Each structure stands twice: as C-alpha cells, then as structure tokens.
Structure 1
Amino acid sequence: MEDISRNTSENIKENNDISGNNDNGKIARIKELVKQLNDAAKKYYMEDTEIMSNLEYDALYDELSALEKETGMVMSNSPTVKVGYEVVSELPKEAHEHPMLSLDKTKDVGALASWLGGQKGVISWKMDGLTVVLTYENGEMIKAVTRGNGEIGEVITNNAKVFANVPHHIPYKGKLTIRGEAVIKYSDFNAINEKITDAESKYKNPRNLCSGSVRQLDNKITKERNVHFFAFNLVDGEDVDFHNSFKYQLDWLEQQGFTVVEHYLTDSAALPDKVREFSEKITENDFPSDGLVLMLDDLAYGRSLGTTAKFPRNAMAFKWADEEAITHLRYVEWSPSRTGLINPVAVFDPVELEGTTVSRASIHNVSILKSLALGEGDEIAVYKANMIIPQIARNLTMSGNVVIPAACPACGGETEIVREEGGAVSGVETLYCTNQFCPAKKLKSFSHYVSRNALNIDGLSEATIEKFIDEKILEELPDLYKLAAHREHIVELEGFGEKSYNKLVAAVDASRQTNMWRLVNGLGIANVGEATAKLMAKHFANDMDAMKKADVSAYVEIDGIGQVIAEDIVRYFENEKNCAIIDRLMAELTFVDEVSDTEQDLAGKVFVITGSLTHFDNRNQLKELIESRGGQVTGSVSAKTSYLINNDVNSTSSKNKKAKSLDVPIISEEDFLELIGQ
C-alpha cells in the first residue's frame, strides 16, 4: 500500500510522557490487567488449568473496573466488556470526510533525506494491512470505515468493536477521527493456517486474510481472527493543543489508550541511521512490512504544502530495493498434488535474503521453467517478493538442461505435459501424473476432502492423514467415517490419546451434515473447484444420481462449464470405482439446503470478472457477492454472459473484444454496485 493511511508497527515506544498526565501509568496498568485476566480465563475455560485463585481473579477484576471508570478508557478485549455479535446482510458504503491520497515513494535514502531538507520528520513502519478510519464522540467509538478507494469506504463499525486492542471508550470526550492499520500478525496467521490441512486451501498472506476478516458480515469471525489496530494519523481532534507537532499527536493518542505505530523524530542527518535501524528489525517483526513512511513533524507547514494531483506533499514513502543474491541451482524437485499436477520447485545453494536462509523457490509451471532455461549448476539470481516469498529473478547462464520427468516421482506412472486453453492461464504448460491411483494423489485427495472449502473437518492435518494411510486406517475417503473401528489403534499412536481421538471423531461427525456442493468439491474432480461444484449442485438440484448420469452436452449447457471441464467431470463419473466411493459417502452424509436471506436479484444473470478491482479486495469477494444474490460467475465471455465487469471499459483485451462482438454490456465496479443498489 502506498497511501497516506500509513502502515504501522507493533513495537510501541514506551514512556512517552508528553504532558505530565499521570494516566499513562494507569492505562499501562489497564492493559496489563486485561492481559492477566484474559490469560487466566483462557487457561481455566479452554485448558482446564487454574493459574490464579478465584479470589485473586476477582481482586484484579475489581481493580480493572475501577481504573476503567477513573480513566474513561475501556479496551475492546477487556473482560468487563460483553461483546454483542451481529450478522449483517451487507456492508454499507460511506464517503470519507477527508479523502485519502496515495503517497509518493522512493527507494533511495539520499532522495528521502533530500526531500526532508532542513525540516524535522517522523519516521515509522509501512505495513501491509487494511486501513481503517475510526471516529469517537463523547469518548465512545461511533463509526469505523475502511479506506476503500480513498474516497468511499465500507462501514465496519460492528467489526472494529471486536478488534483485539481497540478502546471502546477513551478519556477524551471531544470528536476524534484517526486513521490506522488493521493487521493480522504472522503468529496468528500461521496459527490459523496450521488448522487448515489442505495446502491448496491455506490463506496466501496476512493482508488478504485481514482484509477478509475486517470486512466480514459476521463480526464473530472478525473476533476469532484476532485483528489488531495500530493508529498512525490523527485527522481531527477538537480543542486540543497539539503543539503543531505530528509526533505529539501520536504520543497523545497513546495516552488515550491506542496502540500507536512505532515512531521516531529525525532530521536529514540522522535519517540514514534510522532507516538502517528499522531494516535490522524486519526479520524479528511479527507483521508484514514493505517499507517506511516519513511525515513532516511541522503540521502547519505540512498543510501549507498542499497536494499534487496524486500525492500529499507532507509525507513520503520509502521502499527497500529487493535484495538479490546470486547462487547456483542444484536441481529441480517435482512435487505431485491431489489432481495429478506436478509442481516444479528450484533447489539451490543456500543464500541469505532479508535476514533468513533461503534454498528453495517455486517455479510454478513448465512454461516458467522453460522461459528461465533452467539447468543444474546454472548461476541464478534469487530474491524475496515483498520480502517474503522466494522467487527466481533471472538465470545468468541459461543452460536449459533440466529434464522434465517422464515418470511421476511418487508412483513412477507416466506423465504428460498439458497446455491449458482458455481463461487467464491460456497457453501455460503444466506437468501431470496420469496414474489415477498415485499414492501422492491419495494423500492430497484426503487433505482436499477435509479442507475448509470442502467437508471442513478440523484437526486432520496432512501429517495425521499420512500416518493414518501408513497405518492402513485410511484407504478410501469413506474410511474417514469409520474411525470408531480403529479407536484402540488410534489412541495408541504417537501423539494421540483418548482426548485427541474424541476430538477428531467429533469433527468428523460434525461434517456429516453438509451441502451437496461441498461433497462435489471434496471429490477432487479435475478442474472442479468450489465455484464449479456450486454450479453443478444448483443445476442438478442437489441430485447426485443426475450428476453421475449426465453426459458432456448436459454439462456444457451449464454457464461456466466448458467442453474440457465437462469431459473431465463425465470421465470421473464413468469410473465405477469413483461412483462406488460416492455411494459410500452418500450413505454417511445428510445434505441441507443453504438458506440465504439476501435478495436474489441477480438470479439468472451470468457475470465475467476481469482486470483489477478497487471496491473489492479480490475477485473472489466480488464473486461471492454475486453468488449470494443468485447470480453466476464464469471465467470466459459467451453469448450467455449477461455482463462483463471490467473497470477499464475501453480496454482492448480479448475479453472486452469478445464482449463487444457479442453485444455483452461491459460495466465497471461502480456500474455493478449501482445495478444492485449499493
């Protein structure tokens, strides 16, 4: 992100006594008590362990209540707060009173110092989260709005009230508007992903997870994701003398109980050292950061500079140049997946990048492998995309001697190169294992079946599934529902016991009541994911027998399913073994219809989404909104397409050209939102 709503840090400066206010120590004590009491409650209710007596707990609780009354500051996660969960049908939009512009940026420390000149500046982190604007009146939070496109955001007040560290009440009673970053820490992100067994279903990065968590319609989910808020800018504060200092504003916000971005006052001479100090902390940070922000401390002078057409002149973003390292490729490892796709991974001599040792990088597909002309022993340049994901930047020697395997590394079955046709990956070559009974497919198949977008069976990690396969507990998918027959065996396994067994069986039993599309998705049919599974279940009215008997022409009739996918589906159902497994699964499951309170005003409409989005964090979010209102989303434009959504209406892309040739309306996001009355 490169906007004036600057990113933040959890490393909070301590002992900022800016006005002699004795409440600083009391607020610190409040936060300490909140943590102690929450830790005690968690141990007692979730782990059956007491770390303090009831008498001690009550005494600390009373102390906290008294301090909250005295200071007027109450944290969102305080045990004195009774959170009311609420589900809403949609997030309303609202225009920002003060629009948020993007920041100009540089990768040159010298240029940053030159920009600062003789002024004082405040330097802080630039984190990759979701910007939120909070408004307080009479000491109480009354509104929270996302950044959106900088001019219009979504109202998320209900969700902000369950952020882990946002004050519900503050001592200051005037009107206060602040900006900050909502983030999910790496530690929380990793903990959430550890519960997801299927590697392909794991969340990709903390920012996307945070964005989805903050914009939930059910704030109970937001609460569970442990979202934190870090203030970085004070927009409005009535009748407070901020001494014409941006740093003073941030320190004052700390006195109100907010967690504030780590910030330091600096001048151009000290700036290079400050940048270096920040860079040394990156590897230890519990949050994603892609740079720094430098803001002029002199508020009046900063305002007097105004803005350009794109940027404010009182702040500048600094982004570190990607650190590259030269190394040598040892070999390419080929990793099979549940669908038979075999992914190439580069293994190279270990190098240090951004403070960590790196020796592997995904190559993604055969096309990229060929374009890089990779060969064993080649000299390659590697880097970390966004300082996180290892990638190959270029190949300096390009020997091209890597041999694409003719046999699957897991089963020895024959492989084939498939050239994808149609959609965003048209022309991309990928490698597949043709052996339907490849053991790697079995492991990945179970992992996919229990994943969150399929049967959603919690607690079955890939390691556990592999152990159960090795122990002959799991052979085929229906065996998941026969674990009771192996109870004595399971409780004796290393890492298991009666409690773990009972928890696992309860999770499996919870999956017995499900939706038909989840089963269809969980079967692992080639090229059938969640969206296609929903189309199939809807078209055939949740009738599995009808799905099994349908021919290719019947599937092609479904908007969003083309010839290739239809052939894959029919081929799967023509296999007697697959059908036998489905019948056994059907005997274990009870199917329920999904009930939607949302108006089905898009029923019968077919949409195609292309290009970048502004109002939605990604295409999935827009797709889910369309489907929730009865519409369908497909990957390619056809005569059955109702609308092509593309913010670049005048683009000469192939989808735009095809839409125009078929007289399919091309609409922007704004047009779409107007279409549905938002």
Structure 2
Amino acid sequence: MDNYDDGNADYTSINTAMPETAPFKRMRELIALLNKASEAYYKKNIEIMDNYEYDRLYDELLMLEKKSGIVLSASPTQKVGYEVLESLPKKEHDTPMLSLNKTKSVEDLKGWLGSEKALLSWKLDGLTIVLNYDGGILKNAVTRGNGIVGEVITDNARNFKNIPVKIDFNKELILRGEAVISYSDFDRINEQIPDLDAKYKNPRNLCSGSVRQLNPEITASRSVYFYAFTLVSAQGVDFKNSIDVQMQWLKDRGFDTVEYIMTEAKSIETDIKNFENRIEKNNLPSDGLVLIYDDIEYGKSLGSTSKFPRNSIAFKWSDELKETKLLDIEWSPSRTGLINPIAIFEPVELEGTTVSRASVHNLSMVEGLKLGKGDIISVYKANMIIPQIAKNLTGSGSIKPPDLCPACGHKPKIKQEADVKTVHCTNKECPIRHIKGFALLAGRDALNIDGLSEKTLEKFISLGFIKEASDIFKLSRHKDEIVAMEGFGEKSYENLEAAIQKASHTTLPRLLYSLGITGIGLSNAKILSSHFDFDLERIKNAKKEELTEIDGIGSVLASAIEEYFSNSENILRLDRLLSCIEIEKVQKSGTYNENIAGKTFVITGKTQKFENRKKLQEIIENSGGKVSSSVSASTAYLINNDISSTSSKNKKAVELGVSIITEEEFLNLLNTRR
C-alpha cells in the first residue's frame, strides 16, 4: 500500500447529487475503498485488505482515470506535495460576483417564475470559489473575496476531497461553486483541532479558515468538498441554451454539483416543501434554496442591478418563533479557556424537534439581551438547525458572569476585544485544557472506555465531574445529573458505567500508555513493561542511565519517563488512579525475547503461519519488539513470505541492507534464545 494518500474521503457520508455514470461511480467507490484500507493499515495497524487486493483495485482505478481522462483530488494515485505560502496572493475576477436577491415568500417566487422553468437547489453555506481550467488542468482557484477581488487558493483547492485535478476538456473552463465542510466532518474536526472552540462556531467558519490556510496540508486534513453551482464559460461547447445541460456536462467532467431539481410555478410550493422536509437529515450546511432560470439567454436578457443578477433569486426559510421561560445560564468552559454561556430554557417544539438549550456565544450577548432567570424569551432555529434566542420579552438582566470557573474553581477574567466581552479561565492547570490527555486515557489502545468521547469528556469536565483521571471511575456520584443531560438518559449512562467498570481491569502497558508520557506509545509501553518484569514500582524508580540501556528507548524517551515519575503531582494523581483500577498480573515466563526486543519489524504480503498481520504484530510487540509501516534504516527485519518479490518494500529493504525473512524464519528467531 505504498501509494497511500491521507485523503480519508468518504463519499457515502456526504449528502449530494453526484455523477451516477458507471465510470465515475466506480472511481469514487475505489477511492473510498483504497483510502479506507490505507488509513486502517498506516494509522491504526489494522489490515482490512491484503496487498494483492489493494494492488488490483489500485490498477483498476488507474485504468479508469486513463480511460476517462479525469483524476479526482482524493485519488491515491496522486502524490500530494505541500508548499507553504507566506501570504495568499490576490486576483481580480473577470466579472464581478454579485450577491443574490432574497425572499421568504413562496408567492413571490411564483410571480418571479411566471411561465419559465428553473432549477431549484440547496443554497450551500460555505465559501464561494471560482475554478479555472486550461488544457484539462486546474489553472487557478480564487475565493469570492469582496466580489471584485479574491484570494488565490489554487494549492488548497487541489487538496479538496472531490474536485478533479484533471478533466477531459482541453479548452478553457471557468465555473463557480461552494466549498463546504459537512456537519459530520465539522463535529469530528471540532473535537480534534486544538483551540477550535475560540475560532470556529459553525461549519462555514471552519470551512473559510480551512480554505484560506497558508499550508495546503492543513486544508487537506479538513475534509473540504466543492459543489459546482454555475458554469461561467466553456470555450466552444453548445449547451442548448439550458442551465440543466450545463450542470449535466459538469457532472460528466467529474464535478459534483449542488443537488437540484427542475421546477415551475405550479409545482414550486411542493418542491420547496420536499427540500424543507429533508433539512434535518441534510449533512451539508445550507441557509436556504436558490432558483435560477433554465433558459440561459432569457436570464442574460434580464441583466442585473448594481447588487443582484436578475436570472436567479434566493429563498430563505421563515423562522418559527416560540416563547419559553429562561431557567438559567450554564457557563461552560472550553479547552481554550473561554467560558461559554449556554441558555437553559423550558423545552419547546421547533421545526419538528424539542429544544431546551441555545448558545448565547459571549458575555456581551448575555448583557445585550438583558437575560435573567425567569425571563420570557423567544427562540428559533437559525437555518432551521441551530437553536438561538431571538429576543428577551421581559429583560430582567439578573444573570451575571460566573465568580468561579466550573471546571477548576479559579476566578475567571473578563476580556474585551472590539466591543465584545468574553469570560476566560486563566488557570493553565484547568482540567478542561487537558482534554486531549483525558481522551488519550479513554482511547482504544489505553484504558478503552467506549462512549467517553472528547465531546462527552468536555461536558463532564466543564460541569466539574472530572478534574483528574481517577474521577472518571467515580462518575456514578453524578448519575442523576448525567441521566438528565441532553443526549444521555438511563440506557446511555448504564452503557458508559459498564465500559468504565470493564476499563478498571487493565494491563500495565495500557496504563503506561494512558499516562500520556511524551513519546511513549503502546509499543514502547510494552517494551518497558517486559523489561521491568511488569513491575510498575521498578519503572517509577528507574533512572535515565538504566532506561537508555533498553533497546528502543533512547535518551529523549528516557528523560521523558524519568521526568514524569519525578513529578510529585504526577505520582499523587497516579496513586489515586491506581486505587480505582486493577492491573492484570503478568509473569515474565519467557515473554520478553532478546532476539525480538527493541528491534523494528515491517510486515508485508500475505501471512501463512498467523491468522493475519495483526496477530503477528501482537507477537512481536509482546516480545518487546516494534512494528512499523515502512522500511527505513532503523528496520531490523522485513517479514515477507515472498522474499523474491519486486514490491517497493522489498526493493527498499535490499537498498538499505535490511534482512528479509519469512514467517518461518521469524518463528526460529522467536524460539531461539541466547
């Protein structure tokens, strides 16, 4: 799997109208399968596809790309390079990019349509981008900017998940579309990116920040998708005076387009209702619909105003307002130190769901709305998705900022920037700031507490339930509060408690890894455990000189281990954690193997003596060795039953003088002791 691209493209999770012609559909299936297999193998050490199958599918994708003349950006056949810029260059648009006129009235749309047919599509809420192709290759990509001048983000656009970097059209093509990040990817990224809480409040802001990065590698990691909504020009192509034909033509070139249907005055009301019924399940952020005349020449003949084109119009959803009583403001700390106000109110039905909470964003909004307990407020769902407070009908103003941080008990600080006041916890040891450490501890390779995601951890920490690792095993003290939390309930709590109880019985390597000692992964944790006969006290008291004598533990790791266990606070927290868990007793009994320990192995090809590569990896790690995904100068052995193979790993091993051995030879190593 040496053609690995860190694309993570999962087209099945994106809600859109995609090209359904057989070659494109198969290309997308292959890209998703190959990238999923590569991610599992290289990131998680899990083999879900053998090399033969990977190579077969890779060759099929390569053949389809050559045959169609189209290559998608997420394709593992592309070797992506990342050139970091000092700033984004500016470029003036050939024609001004105007905004759309808007209406909330279906009757207005009927009048606007008259006897014409039009395309009705989602109005995606992201960042508008102009793409320019020449000779079949993406020449440049420019943001909308102020409508006159935009920023050039060509390298970033090449790292969007779904745009073609090569198309079957050799003349100039200019099109416009929306770059977006889906709700599911937004939630996933929001948990992973440090300091995200202070910067990004919705998918649009995250998308804008991702598209305009100076480092394209960051854009590549953010799962940005592009959906075409306008074909500006395609030299020499007859589109039969139809926008619909243009959109189909773009699909045939490998582009994803906004999802749309053909409509007219007599069906527009029903068609809008059908879109509206799908808002809750739509994975792409949208703030309404767009209507554009299908007749290209008729649309051009209408011209434009100084602000709006006359061939298209936006339809905005009418907000459903409900009155309710404000019960309280919950001050929720985030990992950046920002303490966010969240309104808690009596439940109301909005757009088909029950809501009882809404973000108020900052202290200035709390004060501006004059919020107080018991106030009557009106609430709505922005874009029919996100609950918001529209206004306060009583305005008592009794809510004040918190005296103490709910997570750590330190006095917070009020900051003001550009007339916006926010509340911050300045305590660097506030547990909410160490959310990544708690998430590592609960992760699969550590204590493996299923159901304790970063999002859940952040909530528990912000409410003061968790201040250190041992508190996780005492969450039963907060059962009633957890059961009453939004998104939880009795069953969810029981599942979490069962996972915590299961995690309280663990192994020493898992425990060591869960501590988050710099540089100590699960493999090194196993090496340490084996070397010290699974005796935690010996590890705690080991000095750097002794640690560096262990194969695989260099001076940097040795210093990190000694420093961690020399910290009295770390020891106290560890002791409190140990009082809540039970470590599996392991006897040395020949597990540690001097032929294997401290050496790095790479595994490739089909296994014969072992069930799969994962089982072979476990044997190596339990014997004190390490397994890597690629051959390097530090590799001791490449395990491949086909020693004469011409695979890239075998070639690399020969080039570096790395020994290539079969499983049979590995077993001889394992069973032969010095």
TM-score calculated relative to the size of structure 2: 0.61
> Which residues in structure 2 correspond to 1:47-86 (within 5 Å)?
47-86=44-83
Match of 2:419 among 422, 425, 428: 425
Counterpart in 2 of 1:279? 276
1:131 matched to 2:131? The reply is no
CA distance in 2, matches of 1:148, 1:322: 28
Q: Secondary structure at the match of 1:505?
A: coil
Change (3 A) 1:290 1:507: farther
1:235 matched to 2:232? The reply is yes
Change (3 A) 1:300 1:289: same
Deviation string, structure 1 residues 611-630 (Cα, Å, up to 9, x no partner)? xxxxxxxxxxxxxxxxxxxx
Q: Secondary structure at the match of 1:62?
A: helix
> Which residues in structure 2 correspond to 1:456-605 (within 5 Å)?
462=458, 467=466, 469=468, 471=470, 493=504, 498=509, 501-502=512-513, 505=516
Check the 8 A contact 2:197/2:336 in 1, yes or no.
no
CA distance in 2, matches of 1:264, 1:28: 20
1:310 matched to 2:307? The reply is yes
Counterpart in 2 of 1:182? 179
Counterpart in 2 of 1:261? 258
Return 464-473 or 47-56, whichever deviates more.
464-473
CA distance in 1, matches of 2:64, 2:338: 59
Check the 8 A contact 1:87/1:217 in 2, yes or no.
yes
Deviation string, structure 1 residues 421-474 (Cα, Å, up to 9, x no partner)? x75338x6x8899xx99xx983345459999xxxxxx9996479775625289x
Match of 2:388 among 385, 391, 407: 391
Residue identity (%): 49
Change (3 A) 1:168 1:414: closer
Shift of 1:321: 2.0
TM-score calculated relative to the size of structure 1: 0.61
Counterpart in 2 of 1:92? 89
Deviation string, structure 1 residues 116-154 (Cα, Å, up to 9, x no partner)? 111111011111111111112222212211111112112
Check the 8 A contact 2:437/2:516 in 1, yes or no.
no
Number of corresponding residues? 467
Amino acid aligned to 2:419: V
CA distance in 1, matches of 2:175, 2:241: 17
Change (3 A) 1:88 1:270: same
Shift of 1:60: 1.6
CA distance in 1, matches of 2:133, 2:401: 62
Shift of 1:12: 3.6
Amino acid aligned to 1:160: A
Shift of 1:495: 9.3
Counterpart in 2 of 1:250? 247
CA distance in 1, matches of 2:212, 2:61: 31
Counterpart in 2 of 1:551? none
Change (3 A) 1:210 1:52: same
Match of 2:160 among 159, 163, 168: 163
Shift of 1:377: 4.4
Larger CA Rg, structure 1 vs 2: 2
1:323 matched to 2:317? The reply is no
Deviation string, structure 1 residues 276-299 (Cα, Å, up to 9, x no partner)? 111111111112111111001000
Check the 8 A contact 2:407/2:432 in 1, yes or no.
no
Amino acid aligned to 1:442: C
CA distance in 1, matches of 2:361, 2:131: 41
Deviation string, structure 1 residues 611-658 (Cα, Å, up to 9, x no partner)? xxxxxxxxxxxxxxxxxxxxxxxxxxxxxxxxxxxxxxxxxxxxxxxx
Check the 8 A contact 1:100/1:147 in 2, yes or no.
yes
Check the 8 A contact 2:156/2:219 in 1, yes or no.
yes
Shift of 1:173: 2.2
CA distance in 2, matches of 1:98, 1:409: 52
CA distance in 1, matches of 2:199, 2:243: 40
Shift of 1:387: 3.9
Counterpart in 1 of 2:143? 146
Return 90-99 or 161-170, whichever deviates more.
90-99
Deviation string, structure 1 residues 27-67 (Cα, Å, up to 9, x no partner)? 22111221122222222222222222322222222221111
Counterpart in 2 of 1:379? 376
CA distance in 2, matches of 1:464, 1:496: 26
CA distance in 2, matches of 1:117, 1:309: 23
Change (3 A) 1:254 1:508: same
Check the 8 A contact 1:163/1:228 in 2, yes or no.
yes
Change (3 A) 1:181 1:363: closer
Note the aligned Cα RMSD (angstroms): 4.1
Check the 8 A contact 1:351/1:357 in 2, yes or no.
yes
Change (3 A) 1:500 1:140: farther
Shift of 1:323: 2.1
CA distance in 2, matches of 1:15, 1:362: 38
> Which residues in structure 2 correspond to 1:25-36 (within 5 Å)?
25-36=22-33
1:358 matched to 2:358? The reply is no
Change (3 A) 1:506 1:239: farther
CA distance in 1, matches of 2:278, 2:19: 21
Amino acid aligned to 1:502: Y
Deviation string, structure 1 residues 562-609 (Cα, Å, up to 9, x no partner)? xxxxxxxxxxxxxxxxxx99xxxxxxxxxxxxxxxxxxxxxxxxxxxx
Amino acid aligned to 2:468: I
Amino acid aligned to 1:148: G
Amino acid aligned to 1:279: E
Check the 8 A contact 2:405/2:411 in 1, yes or no.
no
Deviation string, structure 1 residues 241-295 (Cα, Å, up to 9, x no partner)? 2111001111111111111110111101111111111111111111211111100
Change (3 A) 1:238 1:467: same
Counterpart in 2 of 1:617? none
CA distance in 1, matches of 2:501, 2:411: 36
Shift of 1:359: 0.5
Counterpart in 1 of 2:430? 442
Amino acid aligned to 1:59: R
Q: Secondary structure at the match of 2:468?
A: helix
Change (3 A) 1:90 1:415: closer
CA distance in 2, matches of 1:294, 1:36: 36
Shift of 1:401: 8.6
Check the 8 A contact 2:198/2:338 in 1, yes or no.
no
